[in-house]
Amino acid sequence: MAQGPVPFSGEVTCLPLSSLPVNQKAEVTHLEMQDPQRLKKLIAIGVLPGSPITLLQRFPSYVFQIGWSQFSVDRGLASAIYVKL
């Protein structure tokens, strides 16, 4: 993915969910830990490493599916989720 790939743990390339192409199946690798409030929210809705995730829409807000649930988040939260394909 051309948009801002972030190397993580050597061989796998990770990118923020906000840069994932729409309808591409991916898996959560890690979360941005800087902002504790943000982290708490992601934890609460069950976004944690290992969860399969699909981005469905990016404008006007980000929409993703995790399990059988869909969530809408803003850019801040979407870019705090890192995924691999």
Partner 1 sequence: MEACCDHKQDKTSSGLKKVVIVGSPNVGKSLLFNHFTGRYVTVANYPGTTVEVSRGKAKIDGVSFEVIDTPGIYSFSPLTEEEGVARRILFKEKPSLVIHLVDAKNLERLLPLTLQLIEAAFPTILVLNMMDEARRLRIGIHQKALTQDLGIPVLETVLTTGEGLKELKTAVRHLTGLEAESPSLRGTTVNYDGRAPVSLEGALARIGESLAGEYPISKRSLSLLLLKGDEEVRSLVKKQEPLVLEIAEALASELKNHLQAPLEFEIASSLKRRAARISENVCRTKKRSWRSDVRSGRWGEFLSRLTMNPLTGFPILFFVLYGGLYQFVGVFGAGTVVDFLEGTVFEGFLNPFFVKVFSRILPWPLLQDLFVGEYGMLTLGVRYAVALILPIVTFYFAVFAVIEDTGYLPRLAMLLDRTFKKIGLSGRAVIPMVLGFGCDTMATMVTRTLPTVRERIISTLLLSLAIPCSAQLGVIFAVLAGHDRALLLWAFVVGLVFLFIGFLTAQILPGERPSFYMELPPLRWPKISHVLTKTYVRVKWYFTEVLPLFIVASALIWLGQLTGLFGFLIRGLAVPVRAIGLPAEAASIFLMGFFRRDYGAAGLYDLVSKGRLDGVQMLVACVALTLFLPCIAQFLMNVKERGWKTGVGISIFILFFSFGFAFVLNQILVRLGAVL
Residue with tokens 């840069």: 19
Nearer Cβ to partner 1, position 2 or 28? 28
Nearer Cβ to partner 1, position 3 or 70? 70
**What count of other Cβ atoms lies within 10 Å of the Cβ of residue 19?**
19
Nearer Cβ to partner 1, position 19 or 62? 62
CB 80 within 8 A of CB 42: yes
Q: Least Å distance between CB 22 and partner 1?
A: 11
CB 78 within 8 A of CB 47: no
- Provide the binding-site residues for partner 1, judged by CB under 8 A: 31, 33, 36-46, 48-51, 56-57, 59-61, 63, 65-74, 76-77
- Three-class SS state of 4: coil
Q: Least Å distance between CB 56 and partner 1?
A: 8
